[in-house]
A = this chain, B = another copy of it.
Amino acid sequence: MKTTPEVNAARLLKSVADFAAIGATPAGGVNRQALSVEDRAARRLLVERALARGFTVFQDEVANLFIRREGRDAALAPLLIGSHLDSQPTGGRFDGALGTLTAFEALEALADAGIETDRAIEVVAFTNEEGSRFSPGCMGSMAFAGVANVTDWHSVAATDGARFSDELAATLNDLPEAEISPIGHTISAFVELHIEQGPILEREGVPIGIVTAVQGTKWLEVAFSGEAAHAGTTPLEFRKDPMAAAAAAIVRIQGDIMPSDPDARLTVGRIAAEPGSINVIPGRVSFTVDIRHPDATILAAIERRVRDECQAAGERLGCKTVIEQRVDMPPGRFSPHVAQAIEDGCAAQGIACRPMISGAFHDALFVNRIAPSAMIFVPCRNGVSHNEAEFVTDDHIMIGARALLGAVVKLSCE
């Protein structure tokens, strides 16, 4: 390499601001849901900037968008970097966009410095990571990794009633400059920069997390069925109250599992009572349990514990207990080699970093199935994400971009 590539701070920060304007909400966040007109506008802006820099662009059949800068040796598989551009309906400016735009900045920095890498580098914006408009999330990376087929989702309806296949076709057609390539081409490795979506880096004052693993996740839906009855006329001994069972079960599972294991996460995010009248003892109460742990064995043990506590609470209160599993995603381990490249890049630039476990899903989790992958986390204020208040300081944006560029230089020339 001739010179050291440098992140252009003004350009990168302007780029973050420009994309934040697409789908901007009054409260400072972004509503740029997958395959919406806002999502298409963001894709268009990225393509225009790519073509202006002489990079090539292409899409695949799930509308994953690629920006490619050629390397010296066309026989080498490209290095993939990037993230996603779609957001939650009341999402932030950084979740996804920051990873895509710092990746594009890395391409520009290399071009600015006139550096020819050994292998080509491709920036990707994966389709529908968030899963809020169309379920499930991570469609783009799942299809790219061969975990699922785009045809599986053709009939999926959006929260706004649109059909996935229609919105996908419209999005693809909206970028005639980007020809459509077969899905799932070979890559050498994948690096995704993302906001942490948690409080640890900020609290510890460390600007970079190197994500070595992703927690396994299990989603359960617990339902207690008792007997709906009149609140005023039904004495205690006649009650089969699923609300009592639910409250007891939640207290038991929350009281013990997280306090005794700092890596465990257990969340009851949704609860409903039927018929849901103020003056009727519910006939049915259901709630969700989100369990996460980086160790598959411990994760399975926590699930058993949750099931046992719920069964016991149901029996104590005279209710029938039904527990269904909605998601079972095993823990993922990222590539130590890619993680090392990120760490080396940080070390060379004097950037402090620490290894981390991701508690959230990311596209990298799926890409990791077909190519060595790892992630770079940057701090976000108060750990807040999926929220218009999501915020990353300019300093942390810059440090993140430099960490990514450092890893890119290493991984594209090996």
A residues neighboring B (CB under 8 Å): 196-200, 215, 217, 219, 228-236, 238, 241, 243-244, 246-248, 250-251, 254, 258-259, 262, 265, 267-273, 276-282, 285, 288, 290, 292, 326, 358-361, 383-387
A383 with B234: CB separation less than 8 A? yes
Q: List 14 A-B contacts (CB under 8 A).
A: A197-B232, A197-B233, A199-B235, A232-B265, A232-B359, A233-B360, A234-B383, A241-B254, A243-B268, A247-B268, A269-B278, A270-B273, A278-B288, A278-B290
Which residues of chain B come closer than 8 Å to A276, judged between CB atoms? 269-270
Nearest CB in chain B to that of A281: its residue? B267
A217 with B232: CB separation less than 8 A? yes
Which residues of chain B come closer than 8 Å to A234, judged between CB atoms? 198-199, 265, 359, 383
Min CB gap A402→B, angstroms? 24
B230 with A385: CB separation less than 8 A? yes
B269 with A233: CB separation less than 8 A? no
A230 with B278: CB separation less than 8 A? no
With A219-B278, A247-B250, A280-B386 as given contacts, are A231 and B269 in contact (CB-CB < 8 Å)? yes
Alpha-carbon distance between A301 and B144 when the two chains are bound, in angstroms: 63
Which residues of chain B come closer than 8 Å to A262, judged between CB atoms? 235-236
Q: How many copies does the complex hold?
A: 2
Interface centre among A196, A230, A268 (most CB of B within 10 A): A230
Alpha-carbon distance between A228 and B268 when the two chains are bound, in angstroms: 12
Min CB gap A355→B, angstroms? 15
Q: Contact partner of A273 among B200, B265, B269, B277, CB < 8 A?
A: B269
B250 with A243: CB separation less than 8 A? yes
Min CB gap A109→B, angstroms? 29
A359 with B230: CB separation less than 8 A? yes
Nearest CB in chain B to that of A236: its residue? B258
Which residues of chain B come closer than 8 Å to A277, judged between CB atoms? 269-270
With A230-B385, A232-B359 as given contacts, are A282 and B254 in contact (CB-CB < 8 Å)? no
Alpha-carbon distance between A273 and B287 when the two chains are bound, in angstroms: 10
Min CB gap A127→B, angstroms? 20
Alpha-carbon distance between A233 and B215 when the two chains are bound, in angstroms: 9
Q: Contact partner of A228 among B250, B251, B387, CB < 8 A?
A: B387
Which residues of chain B come closer than 8 Å to A230, judged between CB atoms? 197-198, 359-360, 383, 385-386
With A251-B248, A359-B233, A360-B233 as given contacts, are A269 and B279 in contact (CB-CB < 8 Å)? yes
B269 with A282: CB separation less than 8 A? yes
Min CB gap A28→B, angstroms? 17
Which residues of chain B come closer than 8 Å to A326, judged between CB atoms? 278
In the complex, the 10 A-B pairs of residues with the closest C-beta atoms, listed nearest first: A198-B233, A232-B359, A233-B359, A231-B267, A247-B250, A278-B288, A236-B258, A231-B290, A247-B247, A197-B233
